[in-house]
Amino acid sequence: MAAVDLYLDCFAGICGNMLLGALVDIGVDFHELQDTLAALPVTGFDLTCERIQRAGIAATHVQVRCAEGHHHRGLKECREIIDRSSLPARVREDATRAFLCLAEAEAAVHGVTADQVHFHEVGAVDAIVDIVGSCWASHRLGIRSVYHGPVNLGDGMVKCSHGSYPVPVPAVQRLLVGRPTVRGIAGIPNVGELTTPTGAALLAALARPAAATMVQTVTGSGYGAGDRDPADFPNCLRIDLVAAAAGAARREVIVELVCDVDDGNPEWLPAAADAARVAGAVDVTLAPITGKAGRPATRVTALCPPDAAGAVEVSLFRHTTTFGVRRRELTRACLVRRWIPVETPFGPMRVKEGWLGDERLQISPEYRDCLARSRDHGVPVQEVYRAALALVPPAGEPPTQDEAP
């Protein structure tokens, strides 16, 4: 199956069963989904699917009916459920990441550690099914990358286990830091909660904000219905399958942060670059320039995902002498990356592949591994590099998304 991307149009927010319904609406076989989720080490639920309308739009409504009440599970229990399943590795990784994102957000809100968080709605069977089912359905469609537009949070108040909270609830607000959001629907007061913690966790784990200039070739659309049926707007999530242009690289939003340093000790700057990487920068460069009054200076440029931009910016202020950091949002083209292990005479190493569609364009041994093995054996780095390169296997199946080293 050719790799495709998925675009989430969250004009009425997002929740777990909205995404699950939309994925069924766009082509995932519901009975196969049922069989897959029935194999989870969780009992006491029934999955239903029906075609309904929301404000005149035909949509698919998937609902989880549970026999149990509110069962409070922690992160460890949710991970165990996923780990004990027979799901594909990528599905287990995606679902685990969604629960981890939620646990970290709840922990920050309540001032505890992630392992101390006991989920409420998300620990219940319906949310486990929504998260795992959405991750499996995306995998089943061969989704390479997921993007989303502005996320409607809703407005007004919502009742939670701790009382009435303003919309968005704190966990949702934290999960969507650095992402484009809107609040409410023009002309309709108090629409209530439109984006739930489950929906926000799925966005945080699986999706990136789409660039404003993103060009799409839509090959299919689907609608997933929310549980409420208001009369004055369609309470549903629209998703689009998007085919990349032939030979096109993956594109993603990246934030560029720049500061010029002309009054600090240059010896500090490599450590400042390392600190920016720890804060979330994917790349940091140092370049010599001529500053004010002809003084020699260094330009520090950090590239980072939108949700890490705030932390990287603070890091630059803390670790350099700059008084200002310039910021702009860019779109960058990326090869899809995969790391493969090779066993060399100097020890195990990783080699990074870069793929453009079905073609492997780049092969590069991981430099840190080369350096470590060269120090271990007292040989030049280039000798280790060549040994790793010689053991790279032929190109296999192309990856559908970046695969972690």
pLDDT tens, position by position, 100-136:
898 888 888 878 877 777 665 445 788 889 999 999 9
Q: What is the percentage of the chain residues whose pLDDT exceeds 70? A: 93
Taking residues 204-217, what's their average pLDDT?
A: 81
- Which of the two residues, 307 and 187, has the higher pLDDT score? 187
**Secondary element (H or E) of residue 348:** strand 347-356
H-state helical runs in 86-233: 89-110, 125-140, 170-175, 197-206
- Which of the two residues, 112 and 72, has the higher pLDDT score? 112
Helix or strand or coil: residue 144?
strand
Give the CA distances from residue 72 to residues 6, 77, 120, 128, 161, in Å, rounded to whole numbers and listed in that order. Answer: 32, 10, 5, 12, 12
What is the rounded CA–CA span in Å between residue 104 and residue 62?
A: 28
What is the rounded CA–CA span in Å between residue 99 and residue 113?
A: 14
Q: Any bridge partners for residue 165, and if so which?
A: 158
Task: Answer whether residue 70 shows pLDDT above 60.
Answer: no
**pLDDT at residue 158 in the model:** 86
Contact predicate 120/161, CB 8 Å = yes
Taking residues 169-185, what's their average pLDDT?
A: 93
**pLDDT at residue 122 in the model:** 45
All domains of the chain in start order, with CATH: 4-242 (no CATH), 250-334 (3.30.70.1380), 336-390 (3.10.20.300)
pLDDT tens, position by position, 20-32:
999 999 999 999 9
Task: Answer whether residue 69 shows pLDDT above 90.
Answer: no
**pLDDT at residue 121 in the model:** 45
What is the rounded CA–CA span in Å between residue 42 and residue 141?
A: 24
Closest by alpha carbon to 23, among 126, 95, 127, 130? 130
Taking residues 83-94, what's their average pLDDT?
A: 91
In this structure, of 8-17, 304-313, 396-405, the range with the lowest mean pLDDT score is 396-405
Q: pLDDT band at residue 399, thresholds of 50, 70 and 90?
A: confident
In this structure, of 64-78, 303-317, 382-396, the range with the lowest mean pLDDT score is 64-78
pTM of the predicted protein model: 0.68
Q: pLDDT band at residue 382, thresholds of 50, 70 and 90?
A: very high
* Residues contacting residue 186 through CB under 8 Å, at least 6 positions apart: none
Task: Answer whether residue 179 shows pLDDT above 70.
Answer: yes
The token pair that represents 229 in the structure block: 């049926």
**pLDDT at residue 288 in the model:** 96
Q: pLDDT band at residue 1, thresholds of 50, 70 and 90?
A: very low
Averaged pLDDT score across all residues of the chain: 89
Give how far the C-alpha of residue 387 lies from the chain's centroid of Cα atoms, to the nearest Å. 35
- Which of the two residues, 373 and 215, has the higher pLDDT score? 373
Give how far the C-alpha of residue 102 lies from the chain's centroid of Cα atoms, to the nearest Å. 12
* Helix 89-110 vs helix 197-206: crossing angle, to nearest 10: 120
Q: What is the residue whose two structure tokens read 């407005």?
A: 155
**Sign of the C-alpha dihedral, residues 301, 312, 202, 18?**
negative
Closest by alpha carbon to 309, among 261, 285, 332, 276? 276
The letter for the amino acid at 381 is: V
What is the rounded CA–CA span in Å between residue 381 and residue 320?
A: 32
pLDDT tens, position by position, 236-257:
999 999 876 555 667 778 899 9
The answer to whether the peptide bond before residue 168 is cis (omega within 30 degrees of 0) is: yes
**pLDDT at residue 359 in the model:** 87
Q: Any bridge partners for residue 359, and if so which?
A: 356
Question: Given its phi and psi angles, is residue 154 left (phi above 0), alpha (psi -120 to 50 degrees) or beta?
Answer: left
**Sign of the C-alpha dihedral, residues 96, 102, 108, 114?**
negative
Give the CA distances from residue 251 to residues 30, 66, 215, 244, 320, in Å, rounded to whole numbers and listed in that order. Answer: 31, 40, 10, 10, 31
